[in-house]
Amino acid sequence: MLITTRIDSNDICWLEMGIEALPIDTLPRDKSLELLCLHRRDILNNPDEKRIADEICELLGDLPLALHLAGMYLGKYKNTVTISEYLGELKSQPVLSNTALVNFIRDTSKSPTKHLQNVAATFMTSYQRLNQDDEKDLLSAKVFHLTAHFAPVAISRELLMRSLKMTDKKKLADAIYRLCELGLVQESGDDRIIVHRLLREFALAHPAKGQDAKESAEDVAKAMLYYANEVDNSGLPTLGIDLEHLRHIAGEAEKRDSENAGGLYNSLGYYLKIMFADYKGAIEYYERALRIDEKRLGKEHPDVAIWINNIGMVLQDMGDLQGAREYLERALGIDEKTYGKEHPDVAIDVNNIGSVLQDMGDLQGAREHYERALRIDEKTYGKEHPDVAIDVNNIGSVLQAMGDLQGARNNYERALRIFEKIFDSEHPYVQGTRRNLQICMDEISKSR
């Protein structure tokens, strides 16, 4: 006997009852195309139309019921609606409200299961089993809605926890288990959850009791921004699949005129620069962040100065040193006006300008900027702070370029002592300074 159910096939209850569970996934793409074109075989023989059919399968998430209904629609209107026109229909509105997927086949006697063939209604059958007067089911409903604000790829529990502003991992696990039980989400093997494309659209239209869709989107945006910043500042940034979420959430935040949009795009720019050396992509995101926040905050705001500074640093990496200098000096002007001339943010700007001057061959100018940054940071943080070590390391590099190898060695050794007190031996700051010191020592040996 074969029994179908929406309960998760990984549920331990099946093992306890001695039942073999056979998970049914969405169709592979070739079978999706076959089902969609069941009543329009001509489409598969036309390469252009087959490509459009493939795009429709993607929009429908290879879901058999949706493909069946869409195929019936294409068959009925084969002389009226082209497949290209149908793709346009799907893209012009929420997919689940498309005519083909909502009560297109009204005669339930034609359905083997005798139920109304409506994709959204099928989802609603499961969703309504959540009793939102019950605290646990309400949390499940909130989690389900939040998934709609992420990209249509696997979502980490960590990001869901942060979006919910909760710390109880067990409660979240219970909520996810309940959603799996109802077939609304699936767990993947890497502690993430997967939501079908069409279920994601359904979830977007169904916030939980007391849950506001716009507020939920902002909660997700803030969680993503803080998480991305933590990863970016870790010294070993790696977002992996969460990069897709960052891109999606940034785009949605921009559409809502969210105050987090600029920060999200800035984080994207930083990640592309650091992880992939994709300077063109990085500068596009930095410039988008700049346009958004210049409009929102004005051209003299310190947040705007950060985006300007970041553009300058990418231009430096791209070899446009004069352009980099202009952007960095503009950022410095904003920060000096905002904070005064002895602020640590000013020290960052001054340091960056020093780096550009060094690349331009103005070694004396670079040294003066590095030494100014050092004076500010020592005054602000004391003599054992990592920012101080960065300044000292930079002074070492310019002294080495000027031929003062002993002065360079002294600065590298001081920077390394500070870094080793703060970071482990594998940290990039430690490794980089050790490398600088070794090169300097080699040059000293050769000069003797």
Give me the DSSP letters along 301-368: -HHHHHHHHHHHHHHHHHT-HHHHHHHHHHHHHHHHHHH-TT-HHHHHHHHHHHHHHHHTT-HHHHHH
What is residue 2's predicted lDDT score, i.e. its pLDDT?
Answer: 74
Please report, as a single letter, which amino acid is at residue 247. Answer: R
User: Which residues are registered as beta bridge partners of 156?
Assistant: 192
Can you give the pTM of this predicted structure? 0.81
CATH number among 3.40.630.10, 1.10.10.10, 1.50.10.100, 1.20.210.10, domain 129-211:
1.10.10.10
d(CA 388, CA 377): 6
Burial class for 123, CB neighbours closer than 10 Å (0-12, 13-18, 19+):
buried
Portions of the chain given CATH number 1.25.40? 382-448
Do residues 7 and 181 touch, judged by C-beta distance below 8 A?
Answer: yes
Query: Which uninterrupted H or E stretch holds 213?
Result: helix 213-232
Using DSSP, state whether 139 is helix, strand or coil.
helix
Low-confidence ranges of the chain (pLDDT < 50): 108
Contacts of 244 (CB under 8 A, 6+ apart): 151, 153
Chain-centroid distance, C-alpha 66: 29
What is the DSSP secondary structure assignment for residue 299, as one 8-state letter?
A: T
Do residues 27 and 67 touch, judged by C-beta distance below 8 A?
Answer: yes
Position of tokens 């089902």? 35
d(CA 139, CA 184): 14
What is residue 8's predicted lDDT score, i.e. its pLDDT?
Answer: 62
Using DSSP, state whether 276 is helix, strand or coil.
helix
Class at the top of the CATH hierarchy for domain 382-448: mainly alpha
d(CA 214, CA 149): 10
d(CA 53, CA 201): 20
Portions of the chain given CATH number 1.10.10.10? 129-211
What is residue 121's predicted lDDT score, i.e. its pLDDT?
Answer: 82
Do residues 349 and 338 touch, judged by C-beta distance below 8 A?
Answer: no
Do residues 19 and 50 touch, judged by C-beta distance below 8 A?
Answer: no
What is residue 26's predicted lDDT score, i.e. its pLDDT?
Answer: 83
